[in-house]
Structure 1
C-alpha cells in the first residue's frame, strides 16, 4: 500500500452499504413476505402478487408465503428479499451546505471555484467536443430533487420512477439528498446561473428511486437495473452496495440473480458504473466474500481518489488522483479510480475548510416554511460529500460523453475506451485504480 501522507486506512468490520455509507448494515430475510424468485422460462406466476416483473431476465419479485412459492409450478428457486440500511459517514454529516444566497461567500462562483473534480478531469475542455447529447443515464439511488435548478433541465420526469412500496414519486423522501448529489455529478447544468456543472449536462437523466428513507431492498435495485436497460439507458449509475456478502448459501443465489441481471444490461448496451465501497477493504484478498453489486458480472467498479489541501493549507498536501482514505481496493476488483473526495480527519473541527477536499455538487436542505417549527420544505442548495458514491458518477458522466461522441459504441466499447485512456498515477499501486485514473479527454 503506497504512502498516502498522514491519512489512515480504516478497517470496518461487518456489512456496509458500500457506495453510500460506512456503518450501514445488510440484513437478510427480514422480508418474510417478499421474495426474489427464479422463474421457469416464460411461465406465468399465477396466484402470486408480482411486485416487479423484470422483463428480459428469468427473475421476478413477488409477495407471497414460502409455502405458496414451493407449490408454484412456475418457480424454480427463491430467496427472501434483502434490506439495506443507510447511515451517512461522519465526514459527510459534518460538511456544510448552503443555498444560492450564500454563494457570495465563494465569490459568487461556487461551481467554478470549488469543483476540483471537474477541473482535474478537464471536463470544460471535454465539453468542447460533447456535453452528452443523445445519451441517457439512469441514477439508481435515493431520488433526485426535481425542483433543483441545476437538475430540472436534464431530468426526464416521464421516465423517472419510484421502485419502493412507499407510495411516493421519484423525489427523495425525508432529508436524504444522496441521490441528488450523485445526479449533479453526472448531469448538473448550472441552470441556476451560479450553480454547478456535471460531466454530461445534456444527457437525458432518469431518476430511479430505490431508497425509502434510510432503507432499500436488493429486489428494488435489481428491478431498477432492468428498467434502466429497458428504457434505453446508455449508463446506469449505482452508488450503493453491500459488503461483505458470503458466496455460499443465500449469497450464491443473490450473486446468480445479480450476474444474470448485469449480463442482460451489458448485452443490451447499458454500462453499469458502480461504487466500489468505503470500507478500506482489500477486495482481492478478503477470503470467500463478495462485494455487491460492484463485483458482479460486467460491473465498472470505481474506487475513489481525492486531494488533501484543496484551497487551504494542509501542510502536507496530496493530489486529486491520490487514493481516498476510505476507498475499497483490489487489483482485479477495481476497474477505474475517479474523484470521490478525501478528508484530513485531524483537520475536522479546527476551523479550516477541510471540506473543500470533498466533492461539491447539488444537495438540498429542509426549512420550516409554515411556522410550526418542523422542517417541511426541501430547499435546493449546494454542498460537499465524499465516497466511492461520488467517484462512480464521475465515471458514469464520462461514459455518457464517450457514447455521445461514438453513438455506435456498445457498452463494452465504451468501457474499453475509458480503460485504454486511463493510467495508474506514478507512486501508487494498481490495486487502487484497476486500469488507471479516469482520463476523460483521452477517452474521447
Structure 2
C-alpha cells in the first residue's frame, strides 16, 4: 500500500486563497469595512457594498476621513489568488454522446450519490456559488442556474452567467449541481437544486502566459465583497452558500483582529437566522488551524461548516478500487480538532490524476481590449479544500430537499450526526464532526 507523506507550510496552496492586508499608505484612498452605525456622514465616503441587514459598509475612503467621522472600521482584506495553484490541472475534452465520466467520480461513488438520488435530487433547494462565475452554457450546467437571482459583486462590468473570473467557479458549481439529465459528462451531488451565480472575482487580463490549462483563479477580490455576497445569498433565501475561498489564511499570517472577527460573526449569524448554511474551505498549507477568542471564524459561532479535504491513493476507475480510501486525509489539508467541522472528498494530489476530483471546467478568453470572447468547455481534475467544501454544500442541499422545514443549524447537525470517524487516521483531520456521509444524511 502506498502511504502519503504529509506536507508542512512550505507546500503550495491547493484550493483556497492566500489573504493579505492592504499595504497602501494611510492617507490615500483605500478599501475599508465600516460599522455603518458609527459613521456620521456617508456622503464623505464612496460606498462599494451595502450590507444593510448587518449594518456594515464596504467603502473607499481615506483613513483620516474615517477617523474624523469617528467611525469603527478596519482595512478591507484583499483576496489575492496569485499563489493559488491546484496540484494538477489535468484536462479532458468534452466526451462524445454516451460517454460518461461517472466512473472517474470516486467522490460521488464514495458518497452514495446514485442511491441518494433515489430519495432526493435536492429539488427546491437553492445554493449560492460565491466564486469566479459559473459557465451556464456548459452542457452539464445548462438550466441549473437562476440568472435572475444571480448577481456580480466583482469590480467590473462583465455580469454573471459566464466564467469571467476563471474556471474555478464552474468546477465548484458542477460538484454541487451538475445535471444528471445529460448523456455524457459528470453529475453533481444535488442536480435538482437551483444554483445562483454570485461572482466576486474578476479576470486578470495582464497575464497571457497561462499554459495549457490556465490558473483556476485569474483576478482578485476583497473580503468585504465576499461578505456582501454572503449577505445577499441569505437575503434571497439560499439554503446553502458555498465559499471555496479561504478567509483563514490571514488569521494564520497576520491576524484580522477584533473588528474583522466580529464582522464575520455578525454576517454568519445573520445568514444562519435567514436559514442559509455557509460552507467554506479551510485552507491548504498542511498545518493546524486554531482560532482565538477575538478572531473566531464565523462557522464556529454562526452555524457554518469549515471543511478539510480527503482523497484516495491509487484509485482505479475501472475496478473502483484504491490503495488508500477516499476518506484518507489529503497531504495538503489544513486541520485542527477545534477548527474543522467536517472532512469531505477534495482529492489527494498524489501520484495519479484520477485521485483528484473531476468535474466541469470552462476556460474564458478575452481579446487585447478586455472584450470577453467566450469560453472553452470541458472537464478537469482539481484538488483542494475548494473541492471539498461543495461536496458538503451538495449534501446540505439534499438534506434540505427531504426536510424543507429544517433551518441551517438542523441541516448542519444532521451532517454532523451521521458523519463517520475513521479510526485509522488522526482525529485532527476530521474535526468536531467527522467524514461526510451524504447517503446517511439523506436517509436520516
Q: TM-score range by the shorter chain?
A: 0.7 to 0.9
Decide whether the 8 Å contact of 1:182 with 1:390 is kept in 2.
yes
Any idea what SS the aligned residue of 2:348 has? coil
Distance 1:288 1:9, change over 3 A: farther
Identify the residue that residue 350 of structure 1 maps to in structure 2.
none
Q: Indicate the SS of the match to 2:128.
A: strand
Matched with 1:330 is 336
**In the TM superposition, what whole-angstrom CA distance separates every residue of 1:123-176 from its partner, at most 9, and x where no partner exists?**
111111111111110011111111112112210111111101112112455572
Distance 1:26 1:148, change over 3 A: same
The offset of 1:88, in angstroms, is: 3.4
> Do the aligned residues in 1 keep the contact of 2:14 with 2:332 (CA within 8 Å)?
no
Change (3 A) 1:255 1:13: farther
- Counterpart of 2:21 (choices 27, 41, 52) is 27
Q: Secondary structure in 2 aligned to 1:52?
A: strand
Q: Work out the CA distance in 2 between the residues paired with 1:90 and 1:202.
A: 28
Partner of 1:440: 438
After superposition, the C-alpha distances for 1:112-131 in whole angstroms (9 at most, x for unaligned) are 21111011000111111111
Q: Quick one: distance in 2 between partners of 1:367 and 1:299?
A: 35
Say if 2:99 and 2:183, in contact at 8 Å, map to a contact too.
no
1:144 aligns with 2:131: no
- Answer whether contact 1:258 1:296 (CA < 8 A) is retained: no
* From 68, 78, 85, the counterpart of 1:89: 85
Alignment coverage as a number of residue pairs: 417
Kept after mapping to 2: 8 A contact 1:306/1:321: yes
Task: Write out per-residue CA displacement over residues 255-291 of structure 1, whole angstroms, 9 at most, x where no aligned residue.
Answer: 111111111111111101111111111114x889969
Decide which of 37, 42, 45 is 1:40's aligned counterpart.
37
Partner SS state of residue 46, structure 1: helix
Q: Does 1:76 align with 2:71?
A: yes
Q: For residues 367 and 190 of structure 1, do their structure 2 counterparts lie closer, same or farther at Cα, with a shift above 3 Å needed?
A: farther
Q: Structure 2: how far apart are the matches of 1:177 and 1:296?
A: 32
CA distance in 2, matches of 1:227, 1:245: 25
- Cα distance between partner residues in 2 of 1:316 and 1:423: 19
Once structures 1 and 2 are overlaid, which stretch shifts more, 286-295 or 126-135?
A: 286-295
Give 1:367 deviation, angstroms. Answer: 7.2
Aligned to 1:177: 167
Give the Å deviation of 1:328.
0.8
Single out whichever of 162-171 and 410-419 deviates more from structure 2.
162-171
Question: Paired residue for 1:229, among 230, 234, 237?
Answer: 234
Specify whether residues 405 and 363 from structure 1 end up closer, same or farther in structure 2 by C-alpha distance, changes over 3 A only: same
Residues 175 and 365, structure 1, Cα contact 8 Å, conserved in 2: no
| Post-superposition offset of 1:295 | 5.7
Do the aligned residues in 2 keep the contact of 1:364 with 1:381 (CA within 8 Å)? yes
* SS at structure 2 position matched to 1:365: strand
Which residue does 2:258 correspond to in 1? 252
Tell me the SS of whatever aligns to 2:129. strand
2:295 & 2:385 partners in 1: Cα distance? Answer: 17
Residue 13 of structure 1, CA deviation: 5.3
Is the CA contact (8 Å cut-off) linking 2:357 and 2:381 kept in structure 1? Answer: yes
RMSD: 3.0
Which one of the candidate residues 417, 421, 424 is aligned to 1:420? 417
TM-score, structure 1 as length reference: 0.85
Partners of 1:153 and 1:191 within 8 A in 2: no
Task: Describe the superposition over 1:314-366 as per-residue Cα deviations: whole angstroms up to 9, x where unpaired.
Answer: x981101100111111111111111111132xx3xxxxxx1111001110235
Question: Cα distance, 1:433 vs. partner?
Answer: 1.1
Correspondence 1:92-171 to 2 at 5 A: 92-93=88-89, 95-101=90-96, 108-110=99-101, 112-171=102-161
1:219 counterpart residue number? 224
Alpha carbons of structure 1 residues 76 and 41: separation in structure 2 relative to 1, 3 Å: closer
CA distance in 1: counterparts of 2:117 and 2:354, whole angstroms:
24
Mind listing any 5+ residue stretches in structure 1 that lack a counterpart? Answer: 348-353
Question: Bigger shift: 146-155 or 238-247?
Answer: 238-247
CA distance in 2, matches of 1:195, 1:415: 30
Q: Contact between 1:143 and 1:211, CA under 8 Å: does it hold in 2? A: yes
What is the TM-score of this pair, normalised by structure 2? 0.85
Counterpart position of 2:9: 12
Aligned counterparts of 2:335 and 2:93: Cα–Cα separation in 1: 33
By how many angstroms is 1:48 displaced?
Answer: 2.6
- Shift of the 11–172 alpha-carbon distance from structure 1 to 2, 3 Å rule, reads farther
